[in-house]
Amino acid sequence: MITLLKNGKIYDPAHSKDGVIEDIYIYQGRIVPKPLGDAKISQTYDLTGKVVMAGAIDMHSHIGGGKINIARMMLPEYQQKQAQETKNLSEPEAHICSPHCSHHATPSTTDTGFRYIEMGYTAAFEPAISPVNARQAHLEMGDTPMIDKGGYAMLGNDDYFLRLLAAQKNKGLDQKAINDYVAWILHATQAIGIKVVNPGGINAFKFNQRRLNLDENNVHYQVSPREILQSLSRAVHELGIAKPLHVHCNNLGAAGNFETTLNTMSASNGLPMHLTHIQFHSYGTEGDKKFSSAAAQIAEALNKNKHITADVGQILFGQTVTASGDSMMQHLNAKHANPKKSVIMDVECDSGCGVLPFKYRDQNYVNALQWAIGLEIFLSVEDPWRIFLTTDHPNGAPFTSYPHLIRLLMDKTFRNEAFAKLNLDAQAMSNLTSLNREYSLYEIAIMTRAGASKLIGLNDCGHLGTGAKADITVYTDLADREAMFAKPDYVFKNGELVVKNGSVVKVVWGATHTAKPAFDLGVEKDLKDYFDKYQTMQMDNFKISDDEISDDGRGSIVVNKN
């Protein structure tokens, strides 16, 4: 059974195809070469004039696990409000809504899968899995239909790692022990990457430290964030994990934090690192309000430091919720919560958690400038292979606002009109209107497909070459890019038509992407002892077996090779 997608305009940056007219053949869920001779084509879609891209990949979106479930539990009003209205109540700035949309910040797992696929996204990655909470994250992702998923396991604030690092600092470096532990965590949590959130800071908060700078020591362990980043980025690199260390810098959201961000770029000594939601880490202290854009400095540094990648974490106006592992900074920011409530947790000698509702307002100076800073970064970073389109869902805005964000990037007039409505003081502090760049469809395809796939190390996603998974999105080439990206004509998942005219026509279940580098299992001897002495669960129960993900007949595991 061969499906033919005929005459589409192909945007496939992995193969340098920028709008070429070509046919695509699908057989058994994969893209195949043009069949020879008289092989029977069972179905043909005429895509003349249509834009064809691989399914989009969200490389950073909080879609599963403790934090986001706390946000749902804490904020029933988001969903209730929406159920009562046919139109979304929140600011029209953020997105377009359908009558039955669940475009709020805390969708259920089912709605998460549906809203993603309806926008042509076929994979999303949960960027902050607490290793101890990984089972819950996979249970939730297992209940998320339509899309592939995967996650990054958080390290660098867990007492096991910090003990190891502190001991090594005294006795000399044994990078192998660190590497084995990092690989073990990746296997045990069924993750594809390693993340560090506020390196050392979440742990320091448990010792009553309230801020931690890059070269400041955690009071108990006497190790600094820089040392943590060095150790972890080296482990990720030496293990051959494709996804560079995913770094949420120290000092999230604080005025003047851009210097921490700039200095962090050098912390890995040239090894690859990914700085996430960099918009939240690009703030200066200039002006009357001591809060300014440092996007220019950050973008310049990103352009120069080729070993660094970043995603933006754009904010868009409206009601949302911030869910972060950064208990230290979320506790500090709890006073800004709107509505005023917050859940902060210390988690299991492993990590932390902070959930605060937030309402970004275009007439608020800081919020308006945050909006501008994100866009300034997008437009000033030259290489679209090293910058990624995210709102840090739900922290900057719900992922359902991506079509709106894409239009802001592709349409200068639209962007400047939106800018003109902002708080006037914020306008005076931004150079956004002097940035004339408009992203092309090719560049959007890099950021949301080819680049994301390459960054995460997915073997057969994000491109349209022979052998690729047939995850394909087809759009009508509309001048209104928001309308275009909000409602694809067709989405194919594993070669099956699952979305037609923006609505799901078939429910399917995606795979869970992992990476499983080789390591010395001898690391379990010390870990077992540690678990028995200090943890409150058995080491064997900490580990998630393949069966737990695939046994229900819906889930499956993909091990990506590097």
Partner 1 sequence: MKNSNYTATQLSVTCPACGLLCDDVTLNTAPISTLQNGCVKGVTFFEQSLKTTPAAVPCITGQSTDLDSAISAAADILRGSKQPLFAGLGTEVQGMRAMLRLAEKTNATLDHLHSEATVRNTLTMQNSGWLTTTLSEVKNRADVILAIGTDITSSHPRFFEKLVWNSDNLFNKSSPEVIYLGVPAENTKAGIAPNGSQPTVIPAEIAQLPEIINALNALLNNKKINTEHIAGLSVSTLLTILEKLKAAQYAVVVWSASCLKFPHAELTVQSITQLINKLNETSRAAGLPLNSGDGDTSVNNTSTWLSGYPTRNRHFNGKPEYDTYHYSTQKQLSNCDVLLWVSTFNPHPAPDTETPTIVIGHPGMQFDRIPDVFIPVGIPGIDHGGQMFRVDSSITLPLKKVRDSDLPSLNDVITKIEAELLNVHLA
Instruction: Return the structure tokens found at 132.
Output: 């101890």
- Can you name the residues that pair with 453 across neighbouring β-strands? none
Q: How far is the CB of 102 from partner 1 (least distance, A)?
A: 8
Q: How far is the CB of 509 from partner 1 (least distance, A)?
A: 14
Specify the residue, 109 or 391, whose C-beta has the smaller distance to partner 1. 109
CA 541 to chain centre: 28
Specify the residue, 107 or 318, whose C-beta has the smaller distance to partner 1. 107
Instruction: Return the structure tokens found at 544.
Output: 């998630």
Q: How far is the CB of 351 from partner 1 (least distance, A)?
A: 9
Specify the residue, 331 or 361, whose C-beta has the smaller distance to partner 1. 331
Specify the residue, 202 or 498, whose C-beta has the smaller distance to partner 1. 202
Q: How far is the CB of 528 from partner 1 (least distance, A)?
A: 12
Specify the residue, 47 or 105, whose C-beta has the smaller distance to partner 1. 105
Instruction: Return the structure tokens found at 431.
Output: 């150079």
Specify the residue, 109 or 305, whose C-beta has the smaller distance to partner 1. 109
Specify the residue, 174 or 547, whose C-beta has the smaller distance to partner 1. 547
State the residue for tokens 């469809």: 441
User: Which of 201, 195, 203, 298 is closest to 247 using CA atoms?
Assistant: 195
Structure letter (DSSP) for residue 545? P
CA atoms of 252 and 197, how far apart (whole Å): 10
Q: How far is the CB of 10 from partner 1 (least distance, A)?
A: 37
Strand residues in 252-340 grouped as ranges (E): 273-275, 283-284, 292-293, 308-311, 318-324
Specify the residue, 15 or 359, whose C-beta has the smaller distance to partner 1. 359
The verdict on whether omega for the bond into residue 488 sits within 30 degrees of 0, i.e. cis, is: no
User: Which of 480, 501, 499 is closest to 491 using CA atoms?
Assistant: 499
Q: How far is the CB of 151 from partner 1 (least distance, A)?
A: 15
Amino acid 370 reads Q
With b for 16 or more beta-carbon neighbours within 10 A and e for fewer, the 338-351 pattern comes to eeeebbebebbbbb
State the residue for tokens 């709106």: 404
- Can you name the residues that pair with 24 across neighbouring β-strands? 5
CA 105 to chain centre: 15
Q: How far is the CB of 128 from partner 1 (least distance, A)?
A: 13
Q: How far is the CB of 171 from partner 1 (least distance, A)?
A: 18
The residues that touch partner 1, with contacts defined as CB under 8 A, are 64, 66, 69-70, 72-76, 79-80, 83, 102, 106-111, 130, 132-133, 135-136, 139-140, 143, 159, 163, 205-208, 220, 331, 334, 337, 340-350, 355, 533-538, 540-541, 548
Specify the residue, 26 or 329, whose C-beta has the smaller distance to partner 1. 329
CA atoms of 201 and 213, how far apart (whole Å): 8
The CA-based angle 131-125-350, given to 5 degrees, is: 15
Q: How far is the CB of 135 from partner 1 (least distance, A)?
A: 4
CA atoms of 106 and 425, how far apart (whole Å): 32
